[in-house]
Structure 1
Amino acid sequence: MDIKQRTQIYKNLGSFARKCIYGVLSASTIPNHIAFIMDGNRRYSKQHKLVDGEGHKVGFSSLMSMLRYCYELGVKYVTVYAFSIENFKRSPEEVQSLMDLMEEKIQGLIKEESIVNQYGVRVYFIGNLKLLSKPVRLAAERAMEATAKNSKAVLLVCIAYTSTDEILHSVEECCEEKWDEIKVLDDGKHEKDVISVLDIERHMYMAVAPEPDIIIRTSGETRLSNFLLWQSADCLLYSPSVLWPEIGFWHLVMAILEFQHKFCYLKKQKQA
């Protein structure tokens, strides 16, 4: 038996084992939306003495594995924090390297054999996209257009994103909308000129998805780092100590088990 055959056998065994575990997890509530803060790519590079950018490449492989596990399990929405607006403060060389990597990986998302097409995933890029370099922005727009008819699952990539920018953007759009409504009225009565919470939520970048059930942040950090602050009031924050490139299947399983253990409490909090 050659190496290729042995590799395929191990792959099949791994797939069978995962299906068995999915069956056990499915006996309880499966989260509808899981979000990831992919923390630790640079630290992974330093620890393993890799050249700049290699940690992020390994991290991308980890992301593809997490997406596969989530979609196999039946998680409908997955959100990833790919690039914060604050990351633009890094050195120009690092920012450019990350932009080049993102452009390459975004283009790969729409290839026929990609995970997106295997699982019928619609892709959204969430954030202040005008801040991106033109090649990355155009690649993101092409990916969103190419996957617009996919409906089995959703991938939301937060890029050039912070929650404070999202909230500011929403409030600005609400104000513009209300001002336009007021200008149309000529009776001097402006009962509708008050901005509601529902108005703000409707104009959020993340309005295309429900609130997350779980946010997983690697590296053992318990900070949200300006990620989904509005949407995360009643979700579970799970913080494994591993760096993002080291995250594996069992970390996802443990996060889901903790969510299931606390599901009744979290549900009550949302309904309160």
Structure 2
Amino acid sequence: MEEEKPTGVVSRFVGGLNISMRRFLFRVISSGPIPEHIAFIMDGNRRFAKKWKLEEGAGHKAGFLALMSLLKYCYEMGVKYVTVYAFSLDNFKRRPDEVQYVMDLMHEKIQGFLKELDMVNRYGIRVLFIGDLNRLSDPVRIAAEKAMEATAMNKKTYLLVCVAYTSSHEIPRSIYEACEEKSRRKVGEVEEEQEEVIKVVDLEKKMYMGVAPDPDILVRSSGETRLSNFLLWQTSNSLLYSPKALWPEMGLRHVVWAILKYQKNYFYLEKKKKEA
């Protein structure tokens, strides 16, 4: 039997030490309130590639690896819902070749995600694609449907991927659908008498994001403070955190710091939610 190389032993020892330290850190953090839902605006993939003079698409590949690590950290700390802003409806206004490039890249990343099903199932992750999926190219839409189907039985944690999404599309759509439902609701063959007023709860039931509670924390990488038409309805009482790190540079310390900031402001945030 071939003797194991010293470098392999050291590598496994360091890896095990890192996992043990991470678990200890998470136990300490979990002594305070843990957010149920964290949303991410993944900003800075292209700037990362430019910064390090990488080939086109390398920044997005690095960003995908960062996403997989951040998901693992979030779920290990007890965060149940993670939402990421993957593709805005506004991006369809770009040149056709740019849109096609993004569609191809998205298809590649979904396929890559499907290859990580061991990790996905280990954390019990259910994947949901949120937005106007009919606007996606057929290969991307089919891949998204396969990912949702493959994880449909998982109920422990959730990954919501916002594609072909903007709040300025989501909100009017929910108003329209709530009005439509009220106008056609019947009891048997007799029209049910309904209030004409559309309530907030009626709108929220029809929103794409109605499948999850509002985010406790909204993180946008690269130091930008714009919300970019993302979850405008849902984040009115969320903690906003904008680390300077580009998305592929995001790591454990950024997630930990976001949660510590949330814990520091927890009672204030809860008070604002109750007043809303």
Q: Shorter-chain TM-score: what band? A: over 0.9
Among 66, 71, 94, the residue aligned to 1:67: 71
Asked if 1:265 corresponds to 2:268, the answer is: yes
Aligned to 1:222: 225
Contact 1:53 1:98 in 2 (8 A): no
Asked if 1:121 corresponds to 2:125, the answer is: yes
Decide whether aligned partners of structure 1 residues 186 and 120 sit closer, same or farther in structure 2, where only a CA change above 3 A counts.
closer
Q: Scaled by the length of structure 2, what TM-score is found?
A: 0.93
1:145 deviates by 1.2
Asked if 1:82 corresponds to 2:86, the answer is: yes
Partners of 2:18 and 2:227 in 1: how far apart?
A: 33
Gaps spanning 5+ residues in structure 2: where?
A: none
Q: How does 1:199-210 map to 2 (within 5 A)?
A: 199-210=202-213
Aligned to 1:154: 158
Query: Which is further off, 114-123 or 54-63?
Result: 114-123
Contact 2:128 2:148 in 1 (8 A): yes
Identity rate, percent: 57
Gaps spanning 5+ residues in structure 1: where?
A: none
Q: State the AA in 1 paired with 2:13.
A: I
Query: Which is further off, 209-218 or 3-12?
Result: 3-12
| SS at structure 2 position matched to 1:224 | coil
1:198 deviates by 0.4
Among 15, 19, 24, the residue aligned to 2:19: 15
| SS at structure 1 position matched to 2:235 | coil
- What per-residue deviation string (whole Å, max 9, x for no partner) do you get for residues 244-265 of structure 1? 0111110111110000000000
Partners of 1:198 and 1:46 in 2: how far apart?
A: 45
1:193 deviates by 2.5
1:172 deviates by 1.5
Q: State the AA in 1 paired with 2:199.
A: S
Among 118, 141, 144, the residue aligned to 1:140: 144
Partners of 1:218 and 1:112 in 2: how far apart?
A: 24
| SS at structure 2 position matched to 1:233 | coil
Asked if 1:47 corresponds to 2:46, the answer is: no
Partners of 1:144 and 1:173 in 2: how far apart?
A: 24
Corresponding residue pairs, total: 271
Contact 1:110 1:117 in 2 (8 A): no
Partners of 2:164 and 2:139 in 1: how far apart?
A: 14
1:94 deviates by 3.0
Q: State the AA in 1 paired with 2:131.
A: G
Partners of 1:159 and 1:262 in 2: how far apart?
A: 30
Partners of 2:101 and 2:121 in 1: how far apart?
A: 27
Partners of 1:86 and 1:12 in 2: how far apart?
A: 44
1:114 deviates by 3.9
Partners of 2:254 and 2:243 in 1: how far apart?
A: 7
Contact 2:182 2:194 in 1 (8 A): no
Partners of 1:173 and 1:137 in 2: how far apart?
A: 23
Regions of 4+ moved over 6 Å: 182-187
Partners of 2:108 and 2:241 in 1: how far apart?
A: 30
Partners of 1:93 and 1:174 in 2: how far apart?
A: 37
| SS at structure 2 position matched to 1:104 | helix
1:191 deviates by 3.9
Partners of 1:126 and 1:135 in 2: how far apart?
A: 17
Compute the RMSD of aligned alpha carbons: 1.8
Aligned to 2:114: 110
Q: Scaled by the length of structure 1, what TM-score is found?
A: 0.94
1:104 deviates by 2.1
Partners of 1:230 and 1:142 in 2: how far apart?
A: 29
Contact 2:178 2:203 in 1 (8 A): yes
Contact 1:182 1:193 in 2 (8 A): no
Asked if 1:245 corresponds to 2:244, the answer is: no
Partners of 1:124 and 1:85 in 2: how far apart?
A: 17
